[in-house]
Amino acid sequence: MLRILTFLYQWLIAIPILFILTLLTALITLIGCRLGNGNVWGYYPAHIWSRLVCIFSLVRIEVHGRENIDPNTSYVFVANHQGAYDIFLIYGYLNHNFKWMMKKSLRHIPFVGSACAAAGHIFVDKSTPSGVKETLQKAEATLQGGMSLVVFPEGARTWTGAMRPFKRGAYQLAVEFSLPVVPLTIDGAFAVMPRTTYNFKPGKIVLTIHPPIYPDANEGHDLERLMQESYQAIESALPLKYQSVKKS
């Protein structure tokens, strides 16, 4: 009975409300970024929208480790990617202004893609050497004055809840610009809404913000070590069943 009530609530009440909120947020972001400060309008409307999505979805959020980050420092945040609610969790509850690094194909989502472009989020173009160079130049211009990047180094949502190997892209940026890397662990988003369904389940998602991994003052980051340390940090706050494929 509870499952039926949740299904009816989702499709008759929550989804229509969230659809309208999404359109309004995209429009406010578009207009605000064209009229004013893109770092403000590109973050706060989506920050509020994400919190409302979690509230209307009956999802509780718990955050640990906010004391580990400084709002005036630029970071590269790297997180495991359990499900669709990862975006709402980070946007709504990290409480640190940032830009997403996202697939170029997301630029074509109606309204949302245009809003993301106006907000200054970075669309990754790996199709040509010039596209890669342009991505790096955009990232370098973005990472100034406390602005940060958030990346899912797995590249896509997990199918099973288990962590997958990380790709190098986000880490190469951290190495190139000598930025601290902050691992983020997301636990619970897979249970709320995995990749295999469009139906959400009420529940709790926990965001753990780990201490930053700083570059060596003289030698900078070691890429392989950086990837390994951040992977292990993220994995350490997950239940065993959601750790790496080898351990699942």
Q: pLDDT per residue over 200-246, tens digit each? A: 999 999 999 999 999 999 999 999 999 999 999 999 999 998 887 54
Residue 139 has a pLDDT of 84
Q: Are strands 181-187 and 98-103 parallel, antiparallel or unpaired?
A: unpaired
Mean pLDDT of the chain: 92
pLDDT at 248 over 60: no
pLDDT at 142 over 90: no
Q: Is 48 helix (H, G, I), strand (E, B) or coil?
A: helix
Give the dihedral sign, CA 190/53/212/123: positive
Name which of 61-65, 122-126, 142-146, 176-180 the model is least confident about.
142-146
pLDDT at 166 over 50: yes
pLDDT at 154 over 80: yes
DSSP sequence for 190-247: HHHS-TT-S----EEEEEEEPPPBPPBTTTB--HHHHHHHHHHHHHHTS-GGGSBTTT
Fold of 2-242: Glycerol-3-phosphate (1)-acyltransferase (3.40.1130)
pLDDT tens readout for residues 89-101: 999 999 999 999 9
Identify whether the C-beta of residue 151 lies closer than 8 Å to the C-beta of residue 78.
Answer: yes
Q: How many residues does the chain have?
A: 248
For the chain, the structural domain boundaries read 2-242
- Mean pLDDT of the region 126-152: 81
pLDDT tens readout for residues 27-72: 999 999 999 888 999 999 999 999 999 999 999 999 999 999 999 8
Residue 213 has a pLDDT of 98
